[in-house]
Structure 1
C-alpha cells in the first residue's frame, strides 16, 4: 500500500517521482475497487476522467456522463465514492427549474441564495437518481431538455416568468455532471437526437451469472465486511489517488497547460470518427406509415433525418480523452486514452441502434436480409426497416445481391468508416463488451448478446403504427 502523507509541506515532485507515485496509487485504487466492487474500476476511471477535465486550462464545455445499469448495479455507490473528492456538489433530487428559480414563495432578492447554477459553477455536480428527469410526460421532457440544452453550454441561463420577470446568469458557468439512471426510455433517445450531443452515458455490467454463481456471491457478501466499510475503503483509496493528481508538477495556478503539439494525431482522427458515427447513431428519422401491400415490408415514408453536427461531440470526446490522460500523468493524448472514449460512445445511443451497428461490424461490415433475420431473430419486415434506417443515416449503402435462389437486399458499411472494421476498434469493442458481460458467467457470449440486445426489443421498436410519444416522431 502506498505510504500516507505526513501533512507537512511537500516538495515539488520530479516528473519521474510523480509518475511512480501516480502509478502506485492508481493501481492501488483499481485493486481496492475490484476487491470491494468487482468489475466497477472501469466506471470509476471514466467518472474520474470527467472530473479531471476541470483541471485542464481552457476547458469550459460542460461534460455530462450518466451511468446506466440495472438496480443494485452500484451506480449510486460509484457516485458516492467519487463525491468524497474536492469540488463536488451532491444533490440527490432536483429539477432543471432549480438551476434558476422563479419560486413564487420567495422574494426576488432572495432567489439567488437558492439558485443551483451559481453553486455548481466550476464544480462536479453529482446526482445519484435521475429517473424523474427522464420519465416525465412529453411536454415536461420538452421543457426540461430545452432548458438543459442551454445550461449544458456552460454559458449561464436566463429565463422569464410572470412572477419575477427575467432572472439568470451569463458568462462562464461551466461544470461537470455525473449522474445515474436505470435506463433511458426510447422516446428520450429520440429527444436527445433532436437536441444534440450534450449528454453522454456509460453502461454498467449486466448480471449474467448463473443461479449457482449468484448464490455463491451473495453468500460471500454476507460473510464479508459491511457495505459501509467497503465504501469507506474505496473512498480512502480514491482520495489518496486524487491527492497525487493534485501534485502534478505540470500544474500552473491549479490548471494543466495542454501540449496539443504532442497529441497523437491518429488518436484525434479516431475520436472524430467516433463522434461522427455517434451523431448518426443518435439521429432521428421522422416517418409515417403507408398501407402499400407491395412494399416488401418497408411500409414507411421517411423525411430528412435529423443528425447533429459532430463538432461538439468531437470536442467533448476529445476532452474526455484529455481527462483520462490527466489520470495517467500526461498533458497530451495517446491511443491509451481511447478505451474510455469508445465505451462512452457505444453507451450514448439507444441500445437497439448500437447493437444493430455492432452486428454489422461482426459481419465485417456487410449483411443481407437473410443474415440479419437470422442473427437478430426478427421478421423480414423488421429487418428491412432496420437496414433502411442505417441507409437513411448514411452509415451504409444498400444494393440488391443475387443469391443462388433469389435476390436479397444487402447493406455495406461506407468506406469512410473503415476504422470500425479494424482489429484495433474491435479490440476496444470486445473489451467493453467484456465489462458488460463478465467472463465468470456460465452463459455463453452468444447467449449474453441475445439476452441483452435486439432479440427482445427490435420487433417492439418498429411496431406497424407510427410513434406519437413526441411531436417529432421517428426511429431512434
Structure 2
C-alpha cells in the first residue's frame, strides 16, 4: 500500500489542478472522489491524503469524508485498495504540510483542533412543520422509518431546553440491513450534527502516556461535541464484544453533561469539570441487539440511554415501493429529499424559539405524570440486573438489582416534552407518551421484552399458564417458558405461582402481572368505562408478541 512517503515520481505524475479544489489548493470532496475514480491509486497520494484529512478535521465537512470512505469501500468504482489502512492514515494526527497550500498555516489547523465553537443554525430554506416531515417520510419510506425518525428527532430538540442538563441519547436497535443507518442519515443535514462512524471511550478525553502536555486536549472529542448531536451509525462494539464495561462506564460518566476527567500516573489529571449542562451533547446511534453482558453492564454503570426498535420490513409491497417506487426516484435521492425536509424543520423550530424552547410543567396529579412514572417503572424493572441462576430442580434462584425509576422517568418526561414541541405545543399531553411507550419496551433485553409485552397487552389479560406462555412466545419447551415466567417475577413485574391453576390434567404453573395498572396504561382502545391514557403501541395479535 502507498503512504505519505511515496516517491517524487509518483507525486509528479499526479496533476491536482485538473480536479476541483478549494481556496487553499486542497481537493474538494468531488475532487478527491474523481481522482480516485480516474485512478484508485491516487487515493494514497500525498495531496489526496491531505485533502481527505482536511475534510475529516473540519466538522462542517467531516460527513463528506465519511461519504468518501463509504464510496471507497463499496463494491462499485472506485476500487481503492487497503481501505482500512487508508482510513487509519486519515484519522491519524499526521500534520498537513501547510507550505504546499495557499493561505493554510499550522495555526489555522491547530485552531481547527482546539477551538470548538458551536456551529450557527442557518435560516430554513422553507418553513416546515412536523406534519410535513411525517408526510414526506411516509411517501418515500414507511411507518417503521417514521417511528424511528420521531424518536431520534427528540434528541436535538432536548438540547434546546434550558432546564434540561443531561445528555439525551437515543439508539436505534435492529438487525443488519433493517434500515437503521438510513434513518440516522436523514439527520445529517442538521447544522449541529457532529458525524463520526465509530467512536471509542478514549476519544471523549484523550490521555495517552506518549502525548506531550501541550498536545493534551487537541484531539478530545467532548469539547467538540458540546451543544451538538454526536452521530454514530455503528455502535455495535459498545453493546457487544470485549470492553463493554469500559464503554458503558464512559457513557455513564459523560451523560450528566458536566464533563469528564481522567487521571493516570503518567499524565496526572486531564479533562473537563463543569457545571451541569456545561458539556451537554446529544447522541443518536444505531446498533444490532445488545448482548446480555451489555445489558448487565448498563445496569451496573447506570443506564443513560433510551432505545427504539427498527423491525425488519416483511411486507413485499413495502420493499418494492422503497426500492422501485416513486416514479424512478433513486433511493439516494429519496434520502436527500427527506434529509432536506428534516433539516429545514429543525431550523424552523430553532428560529421560532431563538434556540431556547420553554415548556410548561406537568401537573403532578395528572395523567401525564402518572403515565411517565409507569413507563419509567417498566424501563427500570425491564432492564434490571438479574443474579438469578437455575438450581438443581431447574427453578430460578437469586435476587436482582433494580434501578431507582426516577432517572428513567425523567428521561421519559423530557422525551415527551420534545414530542410536544415537535407539534408546536408548550404542554405535554398523553398522546406525546405513545412514542415513549415504544421506547420503554425497546429499552430492555429482547428475551424479557416478549413476555413483558405479553403481560402488559390489554388484549390478553394478566394471567398465563406455562403452556400459554410457551405458545404465545413460540418457545421450544415448557421449561423455557417457566424460566421466562420466573424471570419476570425476579424483576418485580409479576408473581409466579407453582401449580396455581387447576386444569383438566391436574394443575399448571401461572404467572400474573402484579400491578394491573401496567396493563390499564395501554387500554385506551379496549376499556370503555375507565380507559387508560395510551393505545397499545404495537401490532401484536391476541396473545401475540410479533
Please say whether Structure 1 and Structure 2 have the same fold, judged by a TM-score greater than 0.5.
yes
How far did 1:333 drift?
Answer: 0.6
Q: 1:37 corresponds to which residue?
A: 141
Query: How far apart in 2 are the matches of 1:134 and 1:418?
Result: 28
Give the conservation status (yes or no) of the 8 Å contact 1:29–1:237.
yes
How far did 1:419 drift?
Answer: 4.5
Query: How far apart in 2 are the matches of 1:80 and 1:129?
Result: 12
Give the conservation status (yes or no) of the 8 Å contact 1:263–1:334.
no
Give yes or no for the alignment of 1:402 onto 2:496. no
Q: 1:369 corresponds to which residue?
A: 466
Give the conservation status (yes or no) of the 8 Å contact 2:255–2:304.
yes
Q: 1:314 corresponds to which residue?
A: 409
Judging changes above 3 Å, is the alpha-carbon distance between structure 1 residues 206 and 141 closer, same or farther for their aligned structure 2 residues?
same
Give yes or no for the alignment of 1:148 onto 2:232. no
Judging changes above 3 Å, is the alpha-carbon distance between structure 1 residues 79 and 105 closer, same or farther for their aligned structure 2 residues?
farther
1:105-124 aligned within 5 A: 105-124=210-229
Q: Deviation digits for residues 211-256 of structure 1, max 9, x if unmatched?
A: xx477447625972223321221122112212321243xx3x6312
Give yes or no for the alignment of 1:185 onto 2:321. no
Give the conservation status (yes or no) of the 8 Å contact 1:158–1:169.
yes
Judging changes above 3 Å, is the alpha-carbon distance between structure 1 residues 371 and 261 closer, same or farther for their aligned structure 2 residues?
closer
Q: 1:468 corresponds to which residue?
A: none
Q: Deviation digits for residues 238-294 of structure 1, max 9, x if unmatched?
A: 12212321243xx3x631222215688211111110111211111122134433xxx
Judging changes above 3 Å, is the alpha-carbon distance between structure 1 residues 394 and 133 closer, same or farther for their aligned structure 2 residues?
closer
Query: How far apart in 1 are the matches of 2:281 and 2:244?
Result: 22
Give the conservation status (yes or no) of the 8 Å contact 1:159–1:167.
yes
Count of matched residue positions in the alignment of Structure 1 and Structure 2: 410
Q: What 5-or-longer segments of structure 1 have no aligned partner?
A: 1-7, 11-20, 438-444, 453-476
Query: Which of 237, 260, 276 is matched with 1:157 structurally?
Result: 260
Structure possessing the higher relative contact order (Cα contacts under 8 Å, 6 or more residues apart):
1
Query: Which of 383, 406, 415 is matched with 2:515 structurally?
Result: 415
How far did 1:79 drift?
Answer: 1.6
1:313-462 aligned within 5 A: 313-362=408-457, 363-376=460-473, 377-399=475-497, 400-415=500-515, 417-420=517-520, 422-424=522-524, 432-434=537-539
Give the conservation status (yes or no) of the 8 Å contact 1:57–1:258.
no
Give yes or no for the alignment of 1:87 onto 2:182. no
Q: 1:228 corresponds to which residue?
A: 332
Judging changes above 3 Å, is the alpha-carbon distance between structure 1 residues 203 and 9 closer, same or farther for their aligned structure 2 residues?
closer
Q: 1:126 corresponds to which residue?
A: 231
Q: Deviation digits for residues 343-373 of structure 1, max 9, x if unmatched?
A: 1111110121111112223431111223223
TM-score in terms of structure 1 length: 0.79
Query: How far apart in 1 are the matches of 2:402 and 2:163?
Result: 28
Judging changes above 3 Å, is the alpha-carbon distance between structure 1 residues 108 and 431 closer, same or farther for their aligned structure 2 residues?
farther
Q: 2:269 corresponds to which residue?
A: 166
The structure that is helix-richer by fraction is 1
Q: 1:201 corresponds to which residue?
A: 307
Q: 1:301 corresponds to which residue?
A: 397
Query: Which of 52, 69, 72 is matched with 2:177 structurally?
Result: 72
Query: How far apart in 2 are the matches of 1:38 and 1:30?
Result: 10
Q: What 5-or-longer segments of structure 2 have no aligned partner?
A: 1-121, 527-531
Give the conservation status (yes or no) of the 8 Å contact 1:127–1:178.
yes
Judging changes above 3 Å, is the alpha-carbon distance between structure 1 residues 420 and 185 closer, same or farther for their aligned structure 2 residues?
farther
Query: How far apart in 2 are the matches of 1:262 and 1:417?
Result: 19
How far did 1:418 drift?
Answer: 4.4
How far did 1:184 drift?
Answer: 1.4
Query: How far apart in 2 are the matches of 1:77 and 1:331?
Result: 30
Counterpart of 1:255 in 2: which secondary structure?
Answer: coil
Query: How far apart in 1 are the matches of 2:437 and 2:525?
Result: 8
Judging changes above 3 Å, is the alpha-carbon distance between structure 1 residues 405 and 277 closer, same or farther for their aligned structure 2 residues?
same
Judging changes above 3 Å, is the alpha-carbon distance between structure 1 residues 374 and 419 closer, same or farther for their aligned structure 2 residues?
closer
